[in-house]
A = this chain, B = another copy of it.
Amino acid sequence: MSYTLHRGDALTVLKTLPDESIHAVITDPPYNSGGRTSSDRTSRTARAKYVTTGSAHDLQNFPGENRDQRSYRSWLTALLTEAYRVAVEHSVAMVFSDWRQEPTTSDALQMAGWTWSGTIPWIKPASRPRKGGFKQSAEFITWGVKGGLDKTRNLYLPGHFTASQPRKDRVHITQKPVEIMRELVQICREDGTVLDPFTGSGSTGVAALREGRHFVGVELSSHYADIAERRLRAELTQDDFVLAGPEA
């Protein structure tokens, strides 16, 4: 297995990638959600919007949380259009969103050419309560296909996930559980390449390598690119160690 981590803006980097070089796109873009007014959403930092007041942890902010609804849609559409170009036929794209952005995400996915094929809930058991109503305990994974699914594969994947957000050894505010990502990357053909234009701390890449897929990532923040680089490198080393371990 191998990985490539590009440092820079997702859309800019994607434009440089060759046609049909990728077999799955799995990513978690900045949601640009939260807040009551447009200015709340666009002027506040991710930390200010999403982290509980008084939290002791010191996780770094992440960039890209300053788009309003309209520009979010056209930006995500442009990104998914490039992703469509670099993907081979039968590739699947999976995009995380929250309840507020799910309709926009499915719009963008379809406008970019993907055939929208479903929306998968990720249930987070440890979520905040809401007085007087229903709490918000799910995120959503909107997925689509370039062309149609490869029906010849003997593959049956779940329709929902239940897992808590990592708390131990957490390095990113919105880090995804590797156990979920390991199931998602199964949608990529074996020995294929998974693309994640918003690598963050690199959980998608870690899962891809563990499941025997190659990985191409893009990350703008050098802070998080450094972290992802470390985690990905450790994955390869560990893999080598395991392979050369007991048997050797």
Question: Closest 7 A-B residue pairs measured CB to CB?
Answer: A137-B159, A103-B103, A55-B74, A121-B121, A135-B159, A47-B113, A99-B119
Q: What is the minimal beta-carbon distance from A190 to any residue of chain B, in angstroms?
A: 13
A interface vs B, CB < 8 Å?
38, 41-42, 44, 47, 50-51, 54-55, 57, 59, 70-71, 73-74, 77-78, 81, 92, 99-100, 102-103, 106-107, 110-113, 115-121, 123, 127, 129-138, 140, 143, 145, 147-160, 187
Q: What is the minimal beta-carbon distance from A88 to any residue of chain B, in angstroms?
A: 15
Q: Are the CB atoms of A81 and B51 closer together than 8 Å? A: yes
| Known A47-B112, A137-B160; further 14 A-B contacts with Cβ < 8 A | A51-B111, A55-B74, A59-B110, A99-B119, A123-B123, A123-B160, A131-B151, A131-B155, A133-B145, A133-B157, A134-B157, A135-B156, A136-B159, A137-B159
A59 — which chain B residues lie within 8 A by C-beta?
107, 110-111
Copies in the complex: 2
Q: Are the CB atoms of A134 and B143 closer together than 8 Å? A: yes
Once the chains are docked, how many angstroms separate the CA of A152 from the CA of B117?
41
Q: Are the CB atoms of B138 and A156 closer together than 8 Å? A: no
Question: Contact partner of A38 among B42, B57, B71, B148, CB < 8 A?
Answer: B148
Interface of A is mostly: mixed
Question: Contact partner of A121 among B100, B103, B123, B132, CB < 8 A?
Answer: B123
Q: Are the CB atoms of B81 and A102 closer together than 8 Å? A: no
A158 — which chain B residues lie within 8 A by C-beta?
134-135, 137
Q: Are the CB atoms of B132 and A150 closer together than 8 Å? A: yes
Once the chains are docked, how many angstroms separate the CA of A127 from the CA of B131?
32
